[in-house]
Amino acid sequence: MTMMLGISWLRYFFTLFPLVWVTACGTGHPDSADPGKVSLTTGRPFNQPGTLSVAPCKQAPPIPGMVYVEGGYMIMGNLGEDRLGTGGCCAKPVTVNAFWIDQTPITNLAYREYLYDLQQSGLMEQYKVAMPNQQVFVEGSSFNDPLLENYLYAPGFIYYPIVGVSWEQATEYCKWRTKKLQEAEMKKLEAKLAAEPRSDTAASDLVNKQMSEAVARLKVRLPTEAEWEYAARGIVGVAGIDYLQRHQRIYPWDGPSPRGKNGQFLANFKRGKGNYKGMAGASDHAASTSYVYAYPPNDLDLYDMVGNVCCWVSDTYSPLSLQETSDLNPIRRDGQDDAKKVYKGCSWADCPYFLQIGTRRYLNKDDTTATIGFRCVVSSSGR
């Protein structure tokens, strides 16, 4: 009897051992995309009745309107003068994880889709709260009435950046967009499941788990200040750490000037006292803001990282933010003065100083201006 049990155990071992060996060695190491069918620590099969359900990680599909940014190292902040005393001159080495970010600032058309959806859903109170403040264009001594009346809805402005949106409104837009992206992704996965019917309950449960995990990863939010700076610098595959420590890319482009090799300006900003556009024949035909694709993108193919409008980021403001935060995915969370939120970049109304990536300012989260918009990000969940 003992001998029979020994033979049975050996037969089981030599039947199972090749499966474990092939998983571990024969075809390379397992990974999240191909975790294998058998546990490397116990030898038990996965996805069987009474055993652990293991879903392979599916690579996230491209996110509409967004660009994938591979994470890495950078010198955050400015090396130059901090004219505003807001803490932007303290350069700090940091590392940022990968993420997706909007290729352009959120446009009037994109925001109008949000407003339309709230209306169609009968959420009229939310609709009223979400309406951008178009009064930001009005000044007692300026004739900006045509912008007040037409900027959000005129066909010529549909691909201009939304303005008059507070940090709170931008955050609510992110929540809405999260919901819509998750709904769209779920519909795609459900259609795929319907096209491949499964009689195996365990297999169906596994697919449903994959669907839920894929959808849960799509969470839209405002970028952190570090993510915004990392995306703005856009240094891709050409600079080592030694280079970054010796040189600081001041703008989203190489060089010390806001002009390109052809002499043309590379962003929409105030060029001098009273000069917002340049002379006729050489101006950008802009209103105050400009078409979001009017100026060249940076090396990551991102438009208007500086110039046109500034952008809200998720960080709560502190003049000591850089010193107080981690050097891995830094963020300044709510703590002391939660109402003050950081915004980054340079607007159409700002002087060239603010074209520097490391400059930072703040505003109360419920305030609005004609110079601040926003763009969104989605965290990467690994590849």
Torsion region of 24: left, alpha or beta (phi above 0 gives left; psi -120 to 50 gives alpha):
alpha
User: 19 pLDDT exceeds 50?
Assistant: no
Higher confidence at residue 59 or residue 273? 273
- Confirm if 88 and 78 have CB atoms less than 8 A apart: yes
pLDDT of res. 192 = 73
CB distance 270 to 351 below 8 Å: yes
**298, 253 in Cβ contact below 8 A?**
yes
Q: What residue type is 359 in one-letter code? A: T
pLDDT digits (tens, 9 = 90+) for 255-310: 889 998 888 899 999 988 988 877 766 666 667 999 999 999 999 999 999 999 99
Distances (CA, A) of 304 to 38, 124, 164, 228, 291: 49, 32, 17, 12, 10
Among 196, 200, 226, 186, smallest CA distance to 74 is for 226
The fourth-level CATH superfamily of domain 81-165+222-379 is: paralog of FGE (formylglycine-generating enzyme) (3.90.1580.10)
Percent of the residues in the chain that have a pLDDT greater than 70, as a whole number: 78
How confident is the model at residue 145, as a pLDDT?
A: 85
d(CA 326, CA 262): 41
> 381 vs 102, which has greater pLDDT?
102
Distance between CA atoms of residues 331 and 155, nearest Å: 38
Asked which of 21-30, 89-98, 303-312, 313-322 is least confident by mean pLDDT, the reply is 21-30
Which residue in 134, 115, 112, 111 sits closest to 123, CA to CA? Answer: 115
> What is the average per-residue pLDDT within 192-204?
66
Average confidence (pLDDT) over 240-253: 73
Task: Determine the pLDDT at residue 135.
Answer: 93
The answer to whether residue 26 scores a pLDDT higher than 60 is no
Contacts 24+ apart (CB under 8 A), 279-284: none
For 319-354, the pLDDT digits (tens) are 876 777 888 899 998 877 899 999 999 999 999 999
- Using the structure block, give the residue that is written with the tokens 């900027």: 151
Taking the C-alpha atoms of residue 194 and residue 345, their distance in angstroms, rounded to an integer, is: 46
Q: Are 88 and 81 in contact (CB under 8 A)?
A: no
How far is it, in rounded angstroms, from Cα 152 to Cα 63? 25
Number of other residues whose CB lies within 10 A of the CB of residue 127: 17
Position 164 scores a pLDDT of 97
Q: What average pLDDT does range 127-151 have in this prediction? A: 89
Query: What pairs with residue 139 in β-bridges?
Result: 142
Cα dist. 281→284, 327, 349, 362 in Å? Answer: 9, 47, 21, 36
Q: Which residues contact 282 (CB under 8 A, 6 or more apart)?
A: none
Beta pairing class for 66-69 and 99-102 = antiparallel
| Pairwise CA distance, residues 9 & 3, whole Å | 10
Percent of the chain with pLDDT over 90: 48
Q: Report d(CA 72, CA 253) in Å as an integer.
A: 18
Res. 23 pLDDT band, cuts 50 70 90: very low
Mean pLDDT for the stretch of residues 72-87: 74
Q: Look at 52 and 212; give whichever has higher pLDDT.
A: 52
For residues 292 and 282, what is the distance between their CA atoms, to the nearest angstrom? 18
Q: What are phi and psi of 74, to 5 degrees?
A: -155, 165
pLDDT of residue 201: 63
- Amino acid of residue 5: L
Least confident residue range of 36-45, 104-113, 305-314: 36-45
